[in-house]
Structure 1
């Protein structure tokens, strides 16, 4: 049984089985889930996640998801906990222990110590009558009827269920806290999402002497020299009060040349685009990208509420900043 169609069928069966396990999990959510959320929201410390083997791998991901969505959390290996790492846990913390059997020796061993410390316990278990379930302040049942493994041995559907339960907790807590996109970005400053949500136009734009601009009375040839020198593919046209009245771009130059205009004699106001689109310094750079794409333009001037020029930027600037 090694044909491509056979592999595809086996893959579909696994995915279908795990999808059914998740649907069953959703139907079983009860007051224990609400209690787990309440305990974590009231926690003054961190959520310490622990688990052995595959449950440990799932636990690391859950801890990372919690931490990045407003719930301070980290993973502690239960085997190492008995050899000194219990010192990482304080009475103000909550222990989230994952064990399909609910009898994982390394976890059960540390429970008396955790209880003496007054640490609250949340468990993800596959057996509701297990030691871990009975000692938990909130026991969340993540058991499955059948693993995707044909021998019903390798943790597959059960680990998927545990992972989904962790995501459900994280998102429920995120919404309860009013955790925003900006909060998420602050936890991911080096990622693309962080750049999209934390970078403003003022962080990207050219200012001062780098702004390409000419006066209303300038000739087109002066504007071309300004465009070449500043390298943004455009120049602004400003009045005596430094208010933007027009823009001239590379595209405008091509249109002027097609019309046979004498570039050495024409005044810039005769060929510029009047009342150009602009942006503000306090606007998110990502929003400006969307504006430029919708208008099909490559550059914008940045102005204040009175249309005074504060800066300029183009798509290349946004690309270098990692916003695109």
Structure 2
């Protein structure tokens, strides 16, 4: 085996070893969801202020992510750097808040220095540490054990397994609170309005549909040929057929045209009312765009008309428009 091939195998072996070690550590974590975890959840759920997450170094990076996960899943939270907190930023912490302090050793000086002031404010402290018997562990109201047998780093020095387990513990807390608070997809969308998730969960049909003269419509007296011209002009792949009161009777689509051609009907003399699809699927302007998408996928429809309470067409859209809006 060449030296290059040996090096490539070494890369893979190292990566697989990391996965095995971290998987084992995560599996062991599941046995620690005990009375302390329940108490932590109760404290967080009943918090009248915000969850203030703090940690130094790698614990701080993980703490930042945990705070972001809390905030996006219904638990108000932010990250406070303990070094900066010792020089004024501790003013971020209010009497109704909770401090979630993360330290693998439980002896991080910047965090330990904050504890007397935090206690004076009567702010509850939840500790996440590898050593429940550490200074931080003993000072805290609730201590969550994030200890690991070994780091994935072959030197046993770089925080690897320990940071993974810390992150999983944070996710476990956030999701437990999400479930307990009845946090819904609509709530999630409100905190993610700018991303693709927000577009999927907040956009309504009214936000994307064509309206007015852009709606493809013909009267019931129109011929198939007239209907085809309207389909071509409006470019949605269908046209609605309305009665004299402008109420929707049915639709005529590209698929209907293919069927007529197979039957060799005279498109110039056949009224579209005779060959249209009745009882067609429609949408409402206030409906979520993602719900309309689900309807279209279920019935293999590529375009929909939007009607009001009196079955009068007020809009139209197709799959391409949903794709352009980022709903797909």
Superposition TM-score tier, normalisation by shorter sequence: over 0.9
Alignment of 1:232 with 2:218, yes or no, is no
Q: Work out whether 1:23 is the aligned partner of 2:23.
A: no
Matched, 1:267 2:259: no
| Stretches of structure 2 lacking an aligned partner (at least 5 in a row) | none
- Residue 108 (str. 1) matches residue 108 (str. 2): no
TM-score by length of 1: 0.94
Q: Secondary structure at the match of 1:302?
A: strand
Matched, 1:241 2:214: no
1:210 aligns with 2:229: no
Query: Aligned-pair distance for 1:304?
Result: 4.1
Q: Is 1:50–2:54 an aligned residue pair?
A: yes
Shift of 1:131: 0.7
Report deviation, 1:286.
Answer: 1.2
Equivalent residue in structure 2 for 1:160, among 164, 181, 197: 164
1:78 aligns to what? 82
1:298 to 302, 307, 315: 302
SS of 1:45 mapped into structure 2: coil
Q: Distance in 1 between matches of 2:266 and 2:313?
A: 28
Q: Which residue of 1 aligns with 2:66?
A: 62
Separation in 1 of the partners of 2:31 and 2:235?
A: 60
For residues 184-233 of structure 1, the C-alpha deviation after alignment (integer angstroms, 9 at most, x for no partner) is 11111112221121122232222232211111011223223322332222
In the aligned structure 2, how far is the partner of 1:124 from the partner of 1:234?
60
Question: Aligned Cα RMSD in Å?
Answer: 1.8
How many residues are paired up? 324
Q: CA deviation at 1:24?
A: 1.1
1:250 maps onto 2:242 in alignment: no
Shift of 1:172: 0.8
Tell me which of 186, 191, 195 is aligned to 1:182.
Answer: 186
SS, match of residue 327 in structure 2: coil
Q: Indicate yes or no: 2:96 matched with 1:97.
A: no
CA displacement at 1:162 relative to structure 2: 0.6
* Offset of residue 89 of structure 1: 1.3
Task: Select between 261-270 and 57-66 the one with higher mean Cα deviation.
Answer: 261-270
Q: Does 1:278 align with 2:288?
A: no
Instruction: State the 1:257 CA deviation.
Output: 4.2
